[in-house]
Amino acid sequence: MTTRRTLLRAAGGLVLTAPAIVRAQTAAWPAKAITIVVNFPAGGLTDGIARAFAQHVQQATGQQVIIDNKPGAGGNIGAALVARAPADGYTFLHSVSGTLVQNRVMFKSMGFDPDKDLTIVSGTPSGVLPVVVHKSVPATNLKEFVDYSRGNKVNFGSWALGSAAHIFAQALNEKFGLKIEVVNYKGEAPMWQDMGAGSLQAAMGSPQAMNALLVKGDVRPIVAPGRVRYARLPNLTTAVEQGFTDEPFLPRGWLALSVPAATPKPIVQKMSDLWVGAADSEPGRKMMESFGLTEKPLNHQEVTADFERLKASVIPQIVALGITPE
C-alpha cells in the first residue's frame, strides 16, 4: 500500500538521483556533434582559430565539430543565438572579447547579457594587430599618418563596432582633432576587400587576413599597436616606440570561447582543457603561427579573472571617447 512515507521516500530518491543523471550526462560528453558559432564571417582570425582548434577537439573526442558563421551587429547576433541555446555543452560561441566587453557600451541593446547569459570557457590572446595604410597614402609611421589625416579624407576600417580598431581610430580623432571616418564591417574579410579596392585609406587587423595585400604591396604597415613588435614584421615599431602611450593605442584582448551560462561546470572544464591543448596540436600550431600568435590560450579560470580586468580597463576608454551607442 502506498503511504505518505513511501511517497516521501520516492520523492527523496528522485531528488538524489538528479545530480547522478547530470553526472552521467557529463561523463558521456560529448555524445553527439558539437556546434561552434563564430559571430564573424569566414576568413578572419576568429574564424581561422575556431576551425583549427575544432579539428583538435574533433580528433580528441571522436565527435564532429561544426563551425557555423553567424555575423552581424558587431557579433551580437551570433552571441545572442548561443546565449539562448540549450545549456547542454553542444553549442559554443567563438568570438572576440570585444563582443563581451565593448559591445555593452556600444549598443543600446545587445540581445543578451554577457555577464549573466554566457560562461567563458577559454581565451586565446589575439596578438599584435598592425595598422596599415593603402599604398596611395604616403605615411610610413603613425605621426605621418596623423599629419596626412589633417588635410585629407581618411576612411579607417574596423572589423566591428566597438572593436580595438574602432577605439584606436576614434582615439586619434579625439587626441589630435581629426575627422577620420571609422567604417565598421561584419568581420575582417570584407574590410580587407575594400582596402584592396582602395576605398579605405587605413585599417587595423590580423596579419594573416591582410597577408595577400601585404605581399602585393597594396598596403603598408605603419605601427604595431601595443608594446610588443610583431615577429613577422620585426622592423615595424610599436605604438610605445613611436611615442603613442595612451591606453587606446595599447589594445589587448582575446578570442573568447563561451557557452550558455548554465552549462555544467565539468563540461566547461573539459572543453577548456581541450581548447588549451588545441594550441599545441598540428592544425592549431600552424594556424597560430600563420596569424603570428605566440601566447597560449588562457584556461577557464584564467580567462574568467582576466575578463574582469579587461572590463575595468576598456569600458572607461570607450566612455571617455564619447562614442554614441547604436
pLDDT tens-digit series, residues 104-130: 998 999 999 999 999 999 999 988 999
- Whether the domain at 16-126+253-321 and the domain at 131-249 fall into the same CATH topology: yes
Positive or negative: CA dihedral 308, 309, 312, 315: negative
pTM: 0.79
What's the rounded Cα separation, in Å, for the pair 226 and 310?
15
For 68-105, give the DSSP string: EE---GGGHHHHHHHHTS-SSSSEEEEEEHHHHTTHHH
C-alpha 311/C-alpha 252 separation (Å) is 11
Q: What is the pLDDT of residue 317?
A: 83
The residues spanned by each domain of the chain are 16-126+253-321, 131-249
Pairing between β-strand 219-223 and β-strand 155-158 as defined by DSSP bridges? unpaired
Q: Round to whole Å and give the CA distance between 234 and 216.
A: 19
pLDDT of residue 16: 47
Amino acid of residue 56: H
User: Alpha-carbon distance 251 to 317, whole Å?
Assistant: 11
Tell me, what amino acid is at 320?
Answer: A
Does domain 131-249 correspond to CATH entry 3.40.190.10? yes
Report DSSP letters for 155-223, one per residue. EEEESSTTSHHHHHHHHHHHHHT--PEEEE-SSHHHHHHHHHHTS-SEEE--TTTTHHHHHHTSEEEEE
* Tens digits of residue pLDDT in 5-59: 554 455 555 554 555 555 665 778 999 999 999 999 998 889 999 999 999 999 9
Mean of pLDDT over the chain: 91
- Residue 20 to residues 16, 38, 182, 188, Cα–Cα distance (Å): 7, 33, 53, 45
What are the tens digits of pLDDT across the range 271-317? 999 999 999 999 999 999 888 888 899 999 999 999 999 999 889 88
Starting at the edge strand that comes first in sequence, how are the strands of the sheet with 91-96 ordered?
65-69, 34-38, 91-96, 254-260, 118-125
Instruction: Give mean pLDDT, residues 163-176.
Output: 94
Alpha helices in 101-163 (DSSP H): 103-106, 142-151
Instruction: Note the CATH architecture for domain 16-126+253-321.
Output: 3-Layer(aba) Sandwich (3.40)
